């Protein structure tokens, strides 16, 4: 896993516990998990492309339906 061994992961965990405290770890994990799920959901979503022509103000341009009779 990214070239990190068990010893390195334990050191990182201890540093995180010292900085944030044991009480904050569940909140941090929950937020991280929520962010990863949201990221995956957005990646898997099919990209929708809007091809509506716009004028200089960013407003959609209405097409005229004139008949040349």
pLDDT tens across 7-65, in order? 998 998 889 888 888 888 889 889 999 999 999 988 887 777 777 777 777 676 776 65
Identify the pLDDT of residue 48.
77
Q: How confident is the model at residue 4 (pLDDT cuts 50, 70, 90)?
A: confident
pLDDT at residue 50, as a whole number: 72
Contact of 26 with 32, CB cutoff 8 Å:
no
44 bridge partner residues? none
Give the per-residue pLDDT at 11.
Answer: 93
Contact 61, 55 (CB under 8 A): yes
Cβ–Cβ < 8 Å for 21, 28:
no
């Amino acid at each position: 896993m990214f070239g990190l061994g068990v010893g390195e992961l334990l050191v990182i965990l201890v540093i995180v516990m010292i900085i944030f405290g044991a009480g904050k770890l569940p909140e941090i994990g929950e937020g991280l998990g929520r962010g990863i799920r949201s990221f995956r959901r957005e990646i898997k979503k099919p990209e929708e492309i809007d091809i509506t022509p716009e004028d200089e103000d960013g407003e959609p341009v209405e097409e005229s339906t004139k008949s040349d009779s």
